[in-house]
Structure 1
Amino acid sequence: MQLFYNPNLDNTTIDFTFSEEESKHIIRVLRKKEDDILTITNGKGLLLTSKITIANPKKCTAVILNSKEKEPSRSWIHLAVAPTKNNDRFEWFLEKATEIGINEITPIVCENSERKVIKQERMEKVIQSAMKQSLQTFLPKFNPIISYKEFIKKEHNGQLFIAHCEETEKIDLSKKAEKQKNTTILIGPEGDFSTTEIKTAFENNFSPVSLGENRLRTETAAVVACTTLSIINQV
């Protein structure tokens, strides 16, 4: 199944016109014709089945045949991650986290961060592509980049964790996290969180957790955290 995305659709939509870029892809690349079936999501849980009415590579239109609403997850997984110096690695993380089923991602700038600027629009496209590729109907929320100090001051609900590399007492995330609870977890940069940042996290009710015995790259740690929390919620 080929999944398309448009955030403006809802269950009252009767017909729909694809953008010129998508129209060209549908007709020229996928070689779809009139009466062929296409599936569309609005990224908010709605899945629409449509039929092509005009197979024009510049303006492909379709009529909605039926729709169904998928139930959202009962818990919310939010990863606050320091972008990696290598942009490709951060995009890899976004792709994999979306495929696994992350709900929200916030890029954070820490004291040891080597990358302090990201291309918001490009990252959103990576997430949208991963959502469509993995046939999901919920698009993860991707927040603008923010400083660690600003993020930690915000109000955060549910379970709060920080995964850092300092040799202090930590409990494995798989044993500490509880099922079906909203969770926010902090993942630091290649140089790890500073001692001050770790202390600030503790002061704001974030508990230290371990992601295993091995020292992980930032993007690997983020994917491990996402996978662990996803598995806990499915058990």
Structure 2
Amino acid sequence: MQLFYTPDIEPAHPQYFLSEEESKHAVRVLRLEAGSEVQLIDGRGGFYTAVIHDAHPKRTILNITSVVNGFNQRNHYLHLAVAPTKNIERLEWFLEKATEIGIDEISLIISHRSERKEVKTDRLNKIITAAIKQSIKAYHPVLNEPVKLGQLLQQPFNGQKFIAHCEPRDKLNLRDELALQGRYLVLIGPEGDFTPAEIESALQSGFKPITLGESRLRTETAALEACFEINFLNRL
């Protein structure tokens, strides 16, 4: 299967022109020719089948033959708010794997103990795009620009809100608290964890404290664990 990401495609149009970058990849790298069948995803749930009409390396023309809307749409909405790691490659790894597993929105939060306070999202979005193509997902996760934790706590969210932290306080298990097929927002802190004051602010903002197991996890591992658990519980 040759899959292309085409966020500007219009379902009602019978033809689509691949971008110059994608055209070059299709013709020069994949050696596709007129008559070759390809698949397209628009990042909004649309999965398209098309046939190459003109294999031009700068503007390949496709004839759309079928459209499936809501392709493999999941039964829940997951928003993870995670502190960027000092080593950006670890954040990139998390975004790739979380996208493959299933996630809808990611917020990068800056907290008191954050070791990285600036992030360029262009490259991160490219990693997410590559991951949806690799895992054949028609929905492109939203990656929000970095925001301070206090600002995120003030944003409205219609769903369950959780915070994972390492403080020795009573915590809940996701399997006991999760309302299935719902909407979820989970906070994951930096390597040094949230401060006690930040935890208290989150609790006062309606977040419930959760445990992700007995091990002390790195930021990106904790975020991926939360992503996996929520997806797994909603598949049962």
TM-score using structure 1 length: 0.97
In 1, Cα distance between the equivalents of 2:84 and 2:33? 42
**Counterpart position of 1:43:** 43
Q: Find the counterpart in structure 2 of residue 180 from structure 1.
A: 181
Residue aligning to 2:32? 32
Cα RMSD after superposing both structures: 1.0
Structure 1 Cα separation of the partners of residues 217 and 116 of structure 2: 18
In the TM superposition, what are the counterparts of 1:98-117 in structure 2 within 5 Å? 98-117=99-118
Give matches, 1:11-160, under 5 Å. Answer: 11-70=11-70, 72-160=73-161
* AA matched with 2:51: K
SS class of match (1:25): helix
CA distance in 2, matches of 1:59, 1:156: 42
Task: Report the CA distance between 1:44 and its aligned residue.
Answer: 0.7
**Using the alignment, how far apart are the partners of 1:80 and 1:174 within structure 2?**
20
Structure 1 CA distance for aligned equivalents of residues 206 and 82 of structure 2: 18
**Do the aligned residues in 2 keep the contact of 1:179 with 1:232 (CA within 8 Å)?**
yes
2: CA distance between counterparts of 1:58 and 1:9? Answer: 17
What do the CA deviations read for 1:118-165 (whole angstroms, capped 9, x no partner)? 111111111111001100101111111100010001111211100000
Q: Give structure 1 stretches of 5+ with no counterpart.
A: none
Give, in angstroms, the shift of residue 25 of structure 1: 0.8
Number of matched residues?
Answer: 235
Moved over 4 A (4+): none
Higher mean alpha-carbon deviation, 16-25 vs 90-99, is at 16-25
One-letter amino acid matched to 1:18? L
- TM-score, scaled relative to structure 2: 0.97
Structure 2, gaps ≥5 residues long: none
Amino acid in structure 2 at the alignment position of 1:94: L
Equivalent pair of 1:83/1:189 in contact (CA under 8 Å): yes
Shift of 1:181: 1.4
Query: Distance between the aligned counterparts of 2:213 and 2:19, measured in 1?
Result: 45
Identify the residue that residue 164 of structure 1 maps to in structure 2: 165
Aligned identity (percent) is 44
Q: What SS does the corresponding residue of 1:94 show, helix, strand or coil? A: helix
Counterpart-to-counterpart distance in 1, 2:210 and 2:186: 9
**Equivalent-residue separation in structure 2 for 1:95 and 1:195 (angstroms):** 31
CA offsets 1:14-67 (integer angstroms, 9 cap, x no match): 111111111111111111111000100111111111111111212211111111
CA distance in 1, matches of 2:185, 2:214: 22
Alpha-carbon distance in structure 2 between the residues aligned to 1:85 and 1:215: 18
